[in-house]
Amino acid sequence: MVHSINITKVSVRDRLVADVEVWMNDPNDFDFSPRAKLEDNCIKIHNEGDESVSTTFELDSEQMNVAERDRMVELRVKFAVQGMHGVLLHKTPNPRDGPKSKKLAEPRWKTVLPISM
């Protein structure tokens, strides 16, 4: 189950792009089906079947025009798990910062959602 959803940033590229942070209750939760809805000049993101956990973001005129024109939003989601991810108090130095270092995996994904009006 989704614990909370937060829109961190909305921008316009070729289409409307929303950066979203999603907190899950358990690491084994895979039940996240985002839906987007446009109400007045706000975009609302919620989980399918659970309207109680949602977030809204007020769009400016340019973002509103792009949303009405395309009727879709690119959602860039960053996942975190309640109780597992937080602020580290004692960080160890990361020796993997050279030119041939590999980036560690992060729980992120992108999707394109239709906007219901």
Please spell the DSSP secondary structure of 13-75, one letter per residue: SSSEEEEEEEEESSTT-----EEEEEETTEEEEEETTEEEEEEEEE--HHHHHHHHHH-EEEE
Q: What is the Cα–Cα distance from 106 to 60, expressed in whole angstroms? A: 31
59-63, 64-68, 72-76, 88-92: range with lowest mean pLDDT: 88-92
**88: pLDDT strictly greater than 60:** no
